[in-house]
Amino acid sequence: MSCGHEHDDFITQAVIGEKVPPFTMEVYDPEDFGFAEINFEELQKKGKWTILFFYPADFTFVCPTELADLATKHEELKKLGCEVLSVSTDTKFVHLAWKNDERLLKDVKFKMAADPTGEVSDFFGVYDPATGLALRGTFIINPEGVLVSSEVNFYNVGRNADELLRKVEANVYLKDHPAEACPAKWTPGEKTLTPSEKLVGKVYEDINS
């Protein structure tokens, strides 16, 4: 994984608000039933948002429930311009076998990326050297390559794809409305905040106006 960015500074780990350097990963693509390579730079050139959904391992227990949940939101995420990638330190061959064996994964159509060296997982701060596995990390990267959202859970707590979709919707909205901010539990169509000196100490009045 390349660790340079536009100013040639050395980046050792992903940071919210900073650009993510180029990387590639091999994937199993359930839609094409074959192997391919995903290139982060190419996704940027296409104007894609990127969601990296790290999980510990194939053929485990909480993991298929998470991927199945994510699959229920995949089409909505695609309509928002997202490329969704599940990632573990398993190989692409194990991904294929797991997808074929585990019935919970029958609706999974997003690419399943392989990070067997742990290099990408380590860059995003989810690699556990004691086990060689990745923690449950979810990262949202905007079309300019900037990391805008990060969530990391331990092995035993699964995530909620409804909340991931909500966060993507908020980030997509704010990209086009940078002067605004989305309050807690914001969903499309609801009132946003416009930070200014007039809003200081008056958020209640603004939200309820």
Q: Please write the tens of the pLDDT for every residue from 62-101.
A: 999 999 999 999 999 999 999 999 999 999 999 999 999 9
Provide the mean pLDDT of the chain: 94
- CATH number, span 24-176: 3.40.30.10
Which residues are known to be catalytic? Answer: 63
Please answer whether residues 54 and 136 qualify as being in contact, where contact means their C-beta atoms are separated by less than 8 angstroms. yes
Edge-to-edge strands, sheet with 49-54? 34-39, 24-29, 111-114, 82-88, 49-54, 136-141, 147-153
The three-point CA angle 101-34-1 to 5° equals 105
DSSP 3-state of 6: coil
Interatomic CA distance for residues 131 and 67, integer angstroms: 21
By residue count, the chain amounts to: 209
List the chain domain ranges. Answer: 24-176, 179-209
The DSSP line for 75-98 is: HHHHHTTEEEEEEESS-HHHHHHH
Query: Can you give the pLDDT at residue 4?
Result: 35
Instruction: Supply the pTM of this predicted model.
Output: 0.93
Query: Can you give the pLDDT at residue 5?
Result: 37
DSSP 3-state of 4: strand
